[in-house]
Amino acid sequence: MSKLRLAIVGAGPAGIYAADILLKAERDFDVSIDLFESLPAPYGLVRYGVAPDHPRIKGIINALRDVLDRGDIRIFGNVNFGVDITLDDLKEHYNAVIFATGGQRDAHLNIPGIDAEGSYGAADFVSWYDGHPDVPRSWPLDASSVAVVGNGNVALDVARVLAKHAVDMHVTEIPDNVHDALRDSSVTDVHVFGRRGPTAVKFTPLELRELGEVPNVDMVVYDEDFDYDEAAQAAVKGNKQVMVMDRILQSWRQRPTVNNAPGEAPRRLHLHFFANPVEIRTDDQGRVAGFVYERTASDGAGGVVGTGERREIPVQQVYRAIGYFGSPLEGVPFDERRGVIPNAGGRALVSAESDEQLAGVYATGWIKRGPVGLIGHTKSDAMETITNLIADRDSWWEPTASAEESIPALLAERGVRWTDLDGWHRLDAHELELGEAEGRVRVKVVPREDMVDISRDERTA
């Protein structure tokens, strides 16, 4: 075989890193890569998951853009796998496929009231404030008190965006509708609930420290959560991250707002630890009215046990940020329990119960290993998948239609309005221009049709 024609599904960091690693890998065959993306724009989670007030992380886009701008990868955006193009199509046109579709759904929280009006998944809210084209444009920010469940970085993103004053978000790339809704928000109190103690959180020091720097928002922590046992003290001494975060939290205990005594700011962000979600209480119209949790206590070994003591805080909205979950792909095996494509080192398996490899099919990123780890971790993940793909060359598919032009011809025949790299440059320039006019980083174009029209230069005046 003198050439590998590879399809990658998903143009987020996982897919782009995989393409880059393959193109740079030592190999004795040529490679051509087509990157399929369901959205009209590339960069996946960096564009539609990273919070708009995190420009440092958004900056990863620059590295991803450099890869695409080299020009040796073709992009087909606005192409929905399973609808516009199927696994059988890919088998006909390529030697192999790598799925890099991530995890976009919220994990389920199985407590009474979770489906009440006013109870949301963090992923949906994140998609809304990041201007994802497939979520409703409006978001009801009519609650004065909200609960955010979870102690990971997504919980901190959601809590920070809810608590932050719109004027401090204006400079970012948030779409206008998001800015206006945040400006009109009724929120005064954001309560974050973690089921374990302050030394067993999943969020990280930079993200925690940032909460204390949000203008006109007081941090509130509760003395009862800081009565550390030996295991917690050992965690503080033995782990630099935990030590730094403990210092940050302890500094907030010294502030006048401790234990909810009135502070100066019009908004407060409360951190509650040892609080396991039990129920979302609703009013007689089925709307969120309160968040009920069971107080937990340290089990002496780094974990927690329930104490049986129930508490309730009145809130009108609940956001669960307890982890993401992958979505099944048409015709591709799926592990329903873990929300991933069952795989061994990125080689897809015929089912979650089998160790038989499904020839030609690979996975990388969150759809391979689950929704954990920072964006950079995806590189080593891609390295493993690519190494295995190269080693498997004897079992790659043998396509019957491998001419480069056959894919655009197929999409055109099906009436798909796909977007390409030039189109992305056009949309990118348009958004930057809109931003510049307002002294902002960029202004995102949200409706899918507008994104496609601008990308394809098919705007009607």
Nearer to ligand NAP, 112 or 373 (CB): 373
The β-bridge partners of 320 are 121, 149
- For ligand NAP, which residue of 286, 331, 373, 447 counts as binding (CB under 6 A)? 373
- Determine the residue with CB nearest ligand NAP: 152
Q: Where are the beta strands (DSSP E) in 202-266?
A: 217-221
Could you tell me which stretch among 63-71, 174-182, 183-191, 365-373 binds ligand NAP (CB under 6 A)?
A: 365-373
Could you tell me which stretch among 160-168, 195-203, 325-333, 437-445 binds ligand NAP (CB under 6 A)?
A: 195-203
Q: Which of residues 247-306 bind ligand NAP (CB under 6 A)?
A: 277
Could you tell me which stretch among 191-199, 216-224, 386-394, 445-453 binds ligand NAP (CB under 6 A)?
A: 191-199
Q: How far is the CB of 305 from ligand NAP (least distance, A)?
A: 13
- Reduce the DSSP state of residue 326 to 3 states and report it: coil
- For ligand NAP, which residue of 34, 89, 157, 246 counts as binding (CB under 6 A)? 157
Report the half-sphere exposure of 118 (CA within 13 A, side-chain side).
24
Q: How far is the CB of 281 from ligand NAP (least distance, A)?
A: 17
Q: How far is the CB of 87 from ligand NAP (least distance, A)?
A: 28
Q: What number of other Cβ atoms are within 10 A of residue 300's Cβ?
A: 11
- Per rule CB under 6 A, is residue 153 in the interface with ligand NAP? yes
Burial label for 215, CB within 10 Å (0-12, 13-18, 19+), is: exposed
Size of the residue set binding ligand NAP (CB under 6 A): 25
- For ligand NAP, which residue of 65, 105, 202, 255 counts as binding (CB under 6 A)? 202
Q: Which of residues 90-119 bind ligand NAP (CB under 6 A)?
A: 109
- Per rule CB under 6 A, is residue 77 in the interface with ligand NAP? no
Q: How far is the CB of 51 from ligand NAP (least distance, A)?
A: 7
**Distance separating alpha carbons of residues 113 and 126, to the nearest angstrom:** 22
**Distance separating alpha carbons of residues 369 and 378, to the nearest angstrom:** 10
Q: How far is the CB of 158 from ligand NAP (least distance, A)?
A: 9
The β-bridge partners of 217 are 267
CA 214-215-218 angle, to 5 degrees, is 75
Please choose, from the candidates 19, 85, 16, the residue with its C-alpha nearest in 3D space to the C-alpha of residue 424. 16
Which residues, in sequence order, are CB contacts of 457 under 8 Å at separation 6+?
423, 426
Please choose, from the candidates 197, 245, 201, 204, the residue with its C-alpha nearest in 3D space to the C-alpha of residue 222. 197
Task: Report how far apart, in Å, the C-alpha atoms of 80 and of each of 39, 47, 330, 445 are.
Answer: 8, 18, 11, 20
Q: How far is the CB of 365 from ligand NAP (least distance, A)?
A: 12
- Per rule CB under 6 A, is residue 133 in the interface with ligand NAP? no
What is the phi/psi pair of residue 120, to 5°? -130, 155
- Per rule CB under 6 A, is residue 14 in the interface with ligand NAP? no
Could you tell me which stretch among 71-79, 225-233, 368-376, 393-401 binds ligand NAP (CB under 6 A)?
A: 368-376
Q: What's the alpha-carbon Rg for the chain, to the nearest Å?
A: 24
Q: How far is the CB of 17 from ligand NAP (least distance, A)?
A: 16
Residue 266 CA to its chain's centroid (Å): 30
Q: What does the binding site for ligand NAP look like in residue numbers (CB under 6 A)?
A: 54, 57, 109, 149-155, 157, 194-196, 202, 207, 277, 321-324, 371-374
